Amino acid sequence: MADEPLANLEAEAAFLGAVLIENSVLDALPVTLREEHFFEPVHSRIFAAIVRLRKRGKVTPVVLKPYFEADAALKELGGIQYLAALTADGQGLLAPRELAEQIIDLATRRALLARIAEATTRLREPGEKLPDVAAMLRSPDLQPTPPWPLLTPAELEALPPPEWLIDRLLPAEGLAVLYGDPAAGKSFLALDLALRLSLGREWHGRATKRTGVLYIAGEGARGFGKRVAGWRIQHGLDRLDAPFRLLPVAVQVLDPAQRSALSLMVERASREADFQIGLTILDTVSRAIAGMDENAPDTMSGLVAACDELRGTNGGIVLGVHHAGKDRDRGMRGSSVLLGAVDTAIRVTKSERIVTVQAEKQKDGEQGPPIYFEMDHVEWQAGDAAAPGPALSTLVPRRTDSATTESEAGISGQMIHAAFGLLADAWADGRPFSHRPETRKDGRFAPKIFASRLGGETDAWALLLASWLENDCLAFEVFDKRSKVRGLRVLQPL
């Protein structure tokens, strides 16, 4: 056993398989892996060929085939079929970073043992000069491999262009934040984005790259089932067969133990979905750093470092859903460290019924024009004909080409402010308003009251009320326990 070489051929094969499936694995490595690190000479030659040929385009077993047809050592491993076998199960995609680090570690240990053996041989020869052990240990091949590559101008020009999950909006790698005011529709947009990417659908006219998604719902997790069902129904799907997983708890990413557990969850989600998780969504940033001072630079620096560590598990991008500050002109809430660190910052604003999405920062591309959405109110009956359930509803974003709509023209921000005042007064007076049409007969139907007292269309007010309820600006609660009268209570006025 003592004479067995320090090597893990299975790890080398798994890593090469991961690279052949997804060449970008090499870009996400925190260490510099070289061909001499591989113990198996055939693996070393395969790795060198991948690095060399990648400059011309994607490298697959088919691309490698002409270069190894005459390789005698490869024939002993199974011939050309061995190249295809490397990509058979894709297990290496679950932990390519750890595999690369293990390959380098074993290579370093082999080199150190070789130096020790050399020194031992010299010590046995009386006439030999004593070896300089300190100099021996300073040998370059025994030093930790620097994690930062040095690129020539030619290598810089040969780098592949940035990849996008959503063309010109969301990059395939890095850290991004989607932020906006309360009730602006951030979570609805984030969920729509996540489901479209997991299905490989275009994002409202923009090309996408399909990826697995882990959605961490730190708040309002119970409502996501309804939102997913409404999205599916709105898009005419009987079921959602997609590499999408939701974690219904808030993970404190600044806590090392929880962060480590989350990395394991990402790997688990990849295995269960049988798809690499390339997008992890933190909804919301404030719940991911609960109890910490958002205005402290150290807090946001810790968040950025935690997200970088999380991305090290599988690569890809982390998208944080965040709130805007009280001063809208100053952007997102908290320390400016976060804005400085992100690759992409996307702002969400709402004016009456129109939701505007604007990339305010885009490190690897132009910011582009704003994109406008309306939130469609989707209703359906739970259960089936034999056992009907309650009536359910949610909001689903739909792109529109205009920043205004005819139906909202009569409703201003001042009128919305007044509407919240009427709602609060009605609750305090013991006769709360309702959004249910059946309350027309007792004079509590809020859309009609607002249209009569404040102006605007009844239908437009009804859509606004649905939006406020979905975004937790209002609650529909029992006011009188004896009569079971329910009404609208203001939670967060606009």
- Which pLDDT does position 454 carry in this prediction? 92
Please report, for residues 122, 177, 184, 245, 276, the alpha-carbon distance to residue 194 in angstroms, rounded to integers and kept in the order given. 63, 14, 18, 10, 14
Per-residue tokens: 16:
């090469």
d(CA 212, CA 228): 16
Residues in a beta bridge with 203: 206
More confident residue, 312 or 268: 268
Are the CB atoms for 40 and 66 separated by under 8 Å?
no
Per-residue tokens: 416:
């919305």
- Residue 142 predicted with pLDDT over 70: no
- Which pLDDT does position 494 carry in this prediction? 67
- Per-residue HEC secondary structure of the chain comes to CCCCCCCCHHHHHHHHHHHHHCHHHHHHCCCCCCHHHCCCHHHHHHHHHHHHHHHHCCCCHHHHHHHHCCCHHHHHHCCCHHHHHHCCCCHHHHCHHHHHHHHHHHHHHHHHHHHHHHHHHHHCCCCCCCCCHHHHHCCHHHCCCCCCCCCCHHHHHHCCCCCEEECCCEECCEEEEEEECCCCCHHHHHHHHHHHHHHCCCECCECECCCEEEEEECCCHHHHHHHHHHHHHHCCCCCCCCCEEEECCCCCCCCHHHHHHHHHHHHHHHHHHCCCEEEEEEECHHHHCCCCCCCCHHHHHHHHHHHHHHHHHHCCEEEEEEEECCCHHHCECCCCHHHHHCCEEEEEEEECCEEEEEEEEECCCCCCCCEEEEEEEEEEEEECCCCEEEEEEEEEEEEECCCCCHHHCCCCHHHHHHHHHHHHHHHHCCCCCECCHHHHCCCCEHHHHHHHHHCCCHHHHHHHHHHHHHCCCEEEEEEECCCCEEEEEECCCC
State what percent of residues in the chain have pLDDT above 90: 44
Closest CA to 189 of 318, 312, 91, 319: 319
| pLDDT tens, position by position, 93-135 | 888 889 998 999 899 888 888 888 887 887 787 777 776 666 6
pTM confidence score = 0.60
| pLDDT tens, position by position, 348-372 | 988 767 898 988 888 877 767 789 9
- Residue 1 predicted with pLDDT over 60: no
Beta-strand relationship, 474-480 and 485-490: antiparallel
- Residue 155 predicted with pLDDT over 90: no
Domains and CATH numbers, the chain: 9-157 (1.10.860.10), 164-399 (3.40.50.300), 405-490 (no CATH)
- Which pLDDT does position 348 carry in this prediction? 93
- Which pLDDT does position 446 carry in this prediction? 93
State what percent of residues in the chain have pLDDT above 70: 90
Q: How many Cα neighbours within 13 Å face the side chain of 95? A: 12
Strand, helix or coil at 371? Answer: strand
Residue 482 is classified by DSSP as T
| Mean per-residue pLDDT, 88-95 | 84
Output the average pLDDT for the chain.
Answer: 86
| pLDDT tens, position by position, 160-184 | 788 899 998 999 999 999 999 888 8
Closest CA to 335 of 291, 301, 288: 301
Highest mean pLDDT among 234-238, 272-276, 369-373, 407-411: 234-238
- Which pLDDT does position 409 carry in this prediction? 47
More confident residue, 156 or 171: 171
| Mean per-residue pLDDT, 454-460 | 84
- Residue 212 predicted with pLDDT over 80: yes
